[in-house]
Amino acid sequence: MINPCPLCVSNQTKLYMHTKERDFFMCTTCDLIFVPQAFFLSKVEEQERYKKHQNSCIDEGYRRFLFQVIKPIKDRFPIGGLGLDFGSGPFPALAQLLQEEGYRINHYDPFFHNDPKIFDKLYDFITLTE
């Protein structure tokens, strides 16, 4: 079965990794690693799993994880740049940390912060974690 790349739509994809839960494919055109749609959760399953996340800015381990995202942003974009944290969850921890670093951040989440007007803007960068 061909699993086209969801980013560049190329059919030049190959199995990257198999786990007991799902397969991961890699696009040999753009190098995106992705999970085919057949393994996606339903919206109800996705929201239930999402509610189990306990991500907070006061959790040092989670802060260390998020700073792995923040460092490349700081290396590439000037302070004051406008970013979008896509999939920010019930508490937009990454957006808060980026604001503390001097960036202007909007956040969007289809379950917790569903404001489609956010897409009317142009962004210097977009984050998507987890």
For 89-125, give the secondary structure using H, E and C: CCCCHHHHHHHHCCCEEEEEECCCECCHHHHHCCCCE
Longest dimension (CA), the chain: 46
Q: Please write the tens of the pLDDT for every residue from 39-51.
A: 998 989 988 887 7
Structure-block tokens of residue 79:
């302070």
Taking only the tens place, the pLDDT of each residue in 56-114 is 777 888 888 899 999 999 999 999 999 999 988 888 899 999 999 999 999 999 999 99
- How far apart, in whole angstroms, are the C-alpha atoms of residue 6 and residue 8? 6
Q: What is the 3-state secondary structure (H, E, C) of 46-82?
A: HHHHHHCCCCCCCCHHHHHHHHHHHHHHHHHCCCCCE
